[in-house]
Amino acid sequence: MPELPEVEHLRRSLAPAIVGARVLAVTVRRRSVIDRGSASFDDALLVGRTIVATHRRGKQLALESDDGRALVIQLGMTGSVTLEHGTPPRGMDARHRHVLWDLLPSAASGDPSPAHRWRMAFRDPRRFGGLTAYASLDELERAWTVLGPDALTLTARELADALRDSRRPVKSALLDQGVTAGVGNIYADESLFAARIHPLRPAGSLGRDESTRLAGHIRRILRRAADRGGSTLRDYRDAFGQPGSAVQTHQVYGRAGEPCVACRRPLEAMQLGGRTTVFCPACQHLST
């Protein structure tokens, strides 16, 4: 499932092409992926408007239009947003494209002919993602108040406040988007290993130094992953269909049974909250 680095890299790869572009038309192939509220499909999907900015909070990407509307894109498990120009995709890549936008980039605003148009496609084979329309950026910001602080800028104090008095395992707390927005299974494992904290430690048992260390590693690891295009395990691609290379930096995720990069003891795996968790039993002691 795409996490914050994948969505942030997607935002970065989309923005240069779509900010300033006008939405000429939209094709909706599966209406069930769209939560449009009381708006028409054209209004919800920004038809006739110019995209003026992109935003992100946690794993959610938002497009802002010149009339103040916002459209949130959630990738779910297998969602993607790609830009196409010229010959449309064929075969498997052409399937599960639920919404298609015809865009006129700002550089071609004087010539709306098909040769200058881009097509943006929302594709989601398993349909756990979707699109949500908001009448204004203020309305979107209110919706985002249920999310915790964005993990890319998470401070030690914000993390300590969110974990205080919690008896949940710290790994489970990190996956709670109300605690911090954007951390998922991959980067929770990576951050806890870097901070040398066992995933089963009660979240509220972390001391100030541990919270500071963990918050710092969360920011560092997420920034590095975003800079490397995110982690492509199977489905994730950026706006131009390119995979990310952050998987090459993973030290524990997906490496159960392999030697720890620090102590060479075999990494172990367990199920926690229905998710596979990988850790080093030597480097990440279960103690308070």
Catalytic residue set? 2-3, 59, 275
Q: At what angle do helices 4-18 and 208-227 cross, to 10 degrees?
A: 40
Q: 65, 136, 125: which is closest to 98 by C-alpha?
A: 125
3-state secondary structure 11-65: HHHHHHHHCCCEEEEEEECCHHHEECCCCCHHHHCCCCCEEEEEEEECCEEEEEE
Find out whether 88 and 95 touch, Cβ atoms under 8 Å: no
Asked whether the beta carbons of 242 and 258 are under 8 A apart, the reply is no
> Which helix (H) or strand (E) is 137 found in, with range?
helix 137-143
**From CA 127, how far away is CA 258, in angstroms rounded?**
34
For 193-250, the DSSP string reads: HHHT--TTSBGGG--HHHHHHHHHHHHHHHHHHHHTT-B-SSS---TTSPPPBGGGG-
Tokens of 6: 């994948």
If you search the block for the tokens 């949130």, which residue do you land on? Answer: 72
Number of other CB atoms surrounding residue 32 within 10 Å: 8
Spatial distance between the Cα atoms of 61 and 52, rounded to a whole number of angstroms:
14
Q: What residues have CB less than 8 Å from 127, skipping those under 6 apart?
A: 30, 32, 33, 76, 96, 98
